[in-house]
Amino acid sequence: MNVIVTAIPDVLIFEPVVFGDERGYFLETFRSDLIEKHIGRVDFVQDNESKSGYGVLRGLHFQKPPFTQSKLVRVVKGRVLDVAVDLRRGSPWYGKSVTCLLDDKRRSMLWIPKGFAHGFVVLSDEAVFVYKCDAYYAPEYDGGVRWNDETLGIDWQLSSSDIRVSGKDALLPAFGDVDCFAYEAFTCENIYR
Respond yes or no: is residue 54 known to be catalytic: no
What pLDDT, on the 0 to 100 scale, is given for residue 46? 96
Average pLDDT estimate for 5-27: 93
Of 25, 54, 61, 118, which is the active-site residue? 61
| Torsion angle (degrees, nearest 10) of CA 41, 44, 45, 49 | 160
Closest alpha carbon to 129 in 81, 46, 73, 85: 73
Q: Number of structural domains, the chain? A: 1
What pLDDT, on the 0 to 100 scale, is given for residue 14? 96
What pLDDT, on the 0 to 100 scale, is given for residue 27? 85
Respond yes or no: is residue 38 known to be catalytic: no
Of 131, 136, 141, 192, which is the active-site residue? 131
Confidence of residue 189 (pLDDT cuts 50, 70, 90): confident
Average pLDDT estimate for 20-28: 89
What pLDDT, on the 0 to 100 scale, is given for residue 152? 97
Q: How far apart are the first and last CA of the chain?
A: 21
Average per-residue pLDDT in the chain? Answer: 96
pLDDT at 193 over 90: no
Domain of residue 134, CATH code: 2.60.120.10
CB of 110 closer than 8 Å to CB of 100:
yes
Helix boundaries (H) for the chain = 32-38, 167-170, 188-192
Query: What is the domain range of residue 34?
Result: 2-192
pTM of the model: 0.94
Q: How do residues 134-151 score in pLDDT, each as one tens digit?
A: 999 999 999 999 999 999
Rounded to the nearest 5°, which phi and psi values hold at 40? 130, -160
